[in-house]
Structure 1
Amino acid sequence: MSFFQLFILAVVQGLTEFLPISSSGHLILLPRVMGMPDQGQVIDVAVHVGTLLAVVIFFWSDVREGLLGIPRMLTGRIDTPGSRLAFLMAIATVPVIFFGLVLSLLGLDDAMRSIAVIGWAMIVFGVVLWWFDTKSPEVKEDRDWTVKDAVIMGLWQAIALIPGTSRSGATITGARALGYKREDGTRLAMIMSIPTIVASGLLLGAEAAADADWQALRDGAIAAGMAFVAAMLALTIMMRLLKSVSFTPYVIYRLILGVILLWVAYT
């Protein structure tokens, strides 16, 4: 695979994984729009590893607290901030794993990878994000996260299995619908992504391991590094902008791209 294609794929994945504009939708569309061959699962795994590393480093204080709380959580003691965070993250991850397995077993995951589905998801869930972001109050902080809220945000994350929805966009929408402040809701959405990215990476990695060769592994390492840099940049910009800017610019982008995709799909 050429360095140019690796660069484009890695940058697109890194920039769109955490912005509410759908990384999976962009990765499905990119080879078709640019006339490039499909990147394959090895590269998909690699760019996910790069974005995973970025979110872990960016939110390291929260990640460290959750990791240290896992032993207490596993013994049934949810009595510290760390064990509580680990417990709520686990609860929020269950819906996306369950529905992901169902879609995979039924073969619906591949059936939904169409330009029309991505276009409609871009528009519909962009409007939903705008509605809750502009209409919902900002009264909750990340420390107010409850079991009920974790379940609801987990269900929103499962909805993002529809290509074009955006995992971060769906979970942020869920957080705003529950009344979380933009920055706090986004922080929860980003932290929630860690076990989900790990799970999807392990699944893709298991499927890709048998076909991997040294060339593919080298390309994957390059793609992972570039995706990491792009993801760190996207996270830094978004978290800073949230102090003064709503999600409306991302919604406008989703609407424009969605209309273009529907025009392509139906003409």
Structure 2
Amino acid sequence: MLWYHVVFLALIQGLTEFLPISSSAHLILPSQVLNWPDQGLAFDVAVHVGTLIAVVGYFWRDIYGIVKDWFAALAGGQSTQNSRLGWWVLIATVPAMVAGLCFNHAIEAHLRSIEVIAYTTIGFGILLWTSDRFFANLKAIHQLNLPSVLVIGIAQAFALIPGTSRSGVTMTAARFMGFSRDAAARFSFLLSIPIIVAAGGLKLIELCSGQQEFAVDWQALLWGVVLSAISAYLCIHLFLKWLSQIGFLPFMLYRLALGALLLWLVKVS
């Protein structure tokens, strides 16, 4: 990887992990469209570490309250909004974990094409805007319950398909059920923590279990962690700050434009 590959891919991972535009699609496309070398598992692990640092750093107060109250409730203490939110994050994570274990290899083998990414980018972009435009904007994050959490969790499982966007599909599901933009985004970001840990852990296991010897570019990995962490932190902050004003329309328009460009590339190739 050249230095600008490292910078571009780290910034793209940091920005797209939490925006509803699909980080997996944007990391796949440079190698397929620009003929860049595949960044490799080690770099994937590094940028996952960076985005994890960003989301934990941004929500550390929330995470501390959730973990403290969850363990207190588990030990027989009183149930609180925070302890229930801890359960909701864990429960909503299960469908994606199960789907990943069952279908990850099939998806890797058959659904990482530019054409698939184009159609999922367009389709789920339209669903995102529809949920935001035509459904209520009333419920707060503490109004989550088991049925709504299961719906969001099942929706998150679809993010295994490149181009879907984990943050986008979970926010879409929440908005369809009447949760506010802020509530949908905050729960989606909290929900990203176990998913990033799981995805990064699986890649790390694959990396450590590989039989082939290779040289690790530690400088590239360090820059990957730093740049993805900084860009992800800024992305979370600005997204939550501006979301109530701009809504999801700009993201749908971006997804439509990207999807159309990809379909054109497929046609002319």
Tell me, yes or no, whether TM beats 0.5. Answer: yes
Equivalent in the alignment of 1:149: 148
Alignment of 1:229-244 (within 5 A): 229-244=230-245
> Partner letter of residue 41 of structure 2?
Q
Instruction: Specify every segment of 5 or more residues in structure 1 that has no aligned partner in the other structure, as ranges.
Output: none
Equivalent in the alignment of 2:99: 99
Q: Distance between the aligned counterparts of 1:203 and 1:257, measured in 2?
A: 29
In the alignment of these two chains, the number of paired residues is: 266
Q: Distance between the aligned counterparts of 2:215 and 2:233, measured in 1?
A: 27
Equivalent in the alignment of 1:136: 135
Q: 3-state SS of the aligned residue for 2:21?
A: coil
> Partner letter of residue 87 of structure 1?
W
Alignment of 1:1-267 (within 5 A): 1-72=1-72, 74=74, 79-104=79-104, 107-210=106-209, 215-267=216-268
CA separation of 1:259 and 1:210: change in aligned 2, threshold 3 A: same
Give the root-mean-square deviation of aligned CA atoms: 1.8
Q: 3-state SS of the aligned residue for 1:36?
A: coil
Q: Give CA deviations for 1:149-198 in whole Å, capped at 9, x if unaligned.
A: 11111111111111001000000101100101111111111111111111
TM-score normalised according to structure 2 size: 0.93
TM-score normalised according to structure 1 size: 0.94
CA separation of 1:38 and 1:238: change in aligned 2, threshold 3 A: same
* Cα offset, 1:59, TM superposition: 1.5
* Cα offset, 1:236, TM superposition: 1.6
CA separation of 1:5 and 1:176: change in aligned 2, threshold 3 A: same
Contact 1:78-1:87 within 8 A present in 2 as well:
no
Q: 3-state SS of the aligned residue for 1:244?
A: helix
Q: Give CA deviations for 1:13-68 in whole Å, capped at 9, x if unaligned.
A: 01111000000000000122232100001111111110111111112222112222
Contact 1:142-1:185 within 8 A present in 2 as well:
yes
* Cα offset, 1:145, TM superposition: 1.1
CA separation of 1:76 and 1:8: change in aligned 2, threshold 3 A: farther
> Partner letter of residue 241 of structure 2?
R
Q: Distance between the aligned counterparts of 2:239 and 2:123, measured in 1?
A: 22
* Cα offset, 1:258, TM superposition: 0.2
Taking only the aligned residue pairs, the percentage that are identical comes to 40
Instruction: Specify every segment of 5 or more residues in structure 2 that has no aligned partner in the other structure, as ranges.
Output: none
